Amino acid sequence: MITRNTPAEAILDIPGVIAYCIAKGVSPYTCSGDYTQSLGRLLELRDVADPEGFIAGLNKLAAKRRPR
């Protein structure tokens, strides 16, 4: 399960996550590469209005994409 404490770079290998982030206006990258802090901190810095909703969407996407 993805939470606010999940390292942002840990979710980038899940198919569709990068597209989801970009579609929501959140780049998971910095000018020097992957964002290395927590997802919660990334969402805070990107001024995401509903971080819990964003994370819920990521979990829904991940549930569809991960092997069972």
pLDDT tens by residue, 26-68: 998 877 766 789 999 999 999 999 999 999 999 999 998 765 5
Q: Domain-by-domain residue ranges, the chain?
A: 17-64
Residue 26 near residue 19 (C-beta atoms within 8 A): no
| pTM exceeds cut of 0.85 | yes
pLDDT of residue 4: 97
Give Cα 34 to chain centroid, integer Å.
11
The tokens of 63 are what? 């549930």
Query: Between vectors from CA 53 to CA 52 and to CA 54, what angle results, nearest 5°?
Result: 90
List 38's β-bridge partners, or say none.
Answer: 7
pLDDT given for residue 34 in this prediction: 66
Whole-angstrom CA distances from 62 to 17, 35, 45 are 8, 19, 23
